[in-house]
């Protein structure tokens, strides 16, 4: 494999960063900047903050967030597979079916254990 095949990706990244940075630089002098006490105050659901901001979250929140990240990342593996399915053939298809079956079993297990319920 030749590194020249990755030049379009590098060019895409450079152009994207230049456009994003350029828009930030251009917008800085023309954006409205009128700070006041109301804008500088902490905002939490429309009323003043109460309690300590460093209090612990419930474990269920972290558990659901981790499950979401795990399943999301695992499903992201299907995109390169779908693009290269014609070249890889039946072996790749059966491997992905096994992968998705294991993923579905894990999801069913977590559902059965009521790991997704907030109670």
**What is the per-residue DSSP string for the chain?**
--GGGGHHHHHHHHHHHHHHHHHHHHHHHHS-----HHHHS--BTTB---S-TTPPPPHHHHHHHHHHHHHHHHHHTHHHHHHTHHHH-HHHHHHHHHHHHHHHHHHHHHHHTTTT---
Instruction: Look at residue 23 in the predicted model and tell me its pLDDT.
Output: 96
Instruction: Look at residue 14 in the predicted model and tell me its pLDDT.
Output: 97
Instruction: Look at residue 27 in the predicted model and tell me its pLDDT.
Output: 94
Instruction: Look at residue 48 in the predicted model and tell me its pLDDT.
Output: 63
**DSSP codes of every residue in 50-84:** -S-TTPPPPHHHHHHHHHHHHHHHHHHTHHHHHHT
- Write down the pTM of the prediction: 0.46
Q: Are 60 and 116 in contact (CB under 8 A)?
A: no
Per-residue pLDDT of the chain (119 residues; tens, 9 = 90+): 688 888 999 999 999 999 999 999 999 999 888 888 777 776 656 666 666 767 776 777 777 788 888 888 888 888 888 888 888 888 888 988 998 898 889 889 988 988 777 76
Instruction: Look at residue 26 in the predicted model and tell me its pLDDT.
Output: 95
């Amino acid at each position: 494999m030749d590194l020249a095949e990755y030049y379009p990706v590098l060019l895409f990244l450079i152009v994207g960063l230049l456009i994003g940075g350029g828009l930030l630089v251009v917008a800085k002098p023309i954006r409205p900047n009128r700070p006041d006490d109301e804008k500088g105050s902490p905002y939490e659901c429309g009323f003043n903050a109460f309690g300590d901001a460093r209090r612990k979250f419930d474990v269920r929140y972290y558990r659901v967030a981790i499950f979401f990240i795990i399943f999301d990342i695992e499903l992201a593996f299907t995109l390169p597979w779908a693009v290269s399915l014609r070249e890889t053939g039946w072996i790749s298809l059966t491997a992905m079916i096994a992968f998705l079956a294991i993923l579905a079993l894990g999801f069913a297990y977590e559902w059965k254990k009521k790991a997704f319920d907030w109670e």
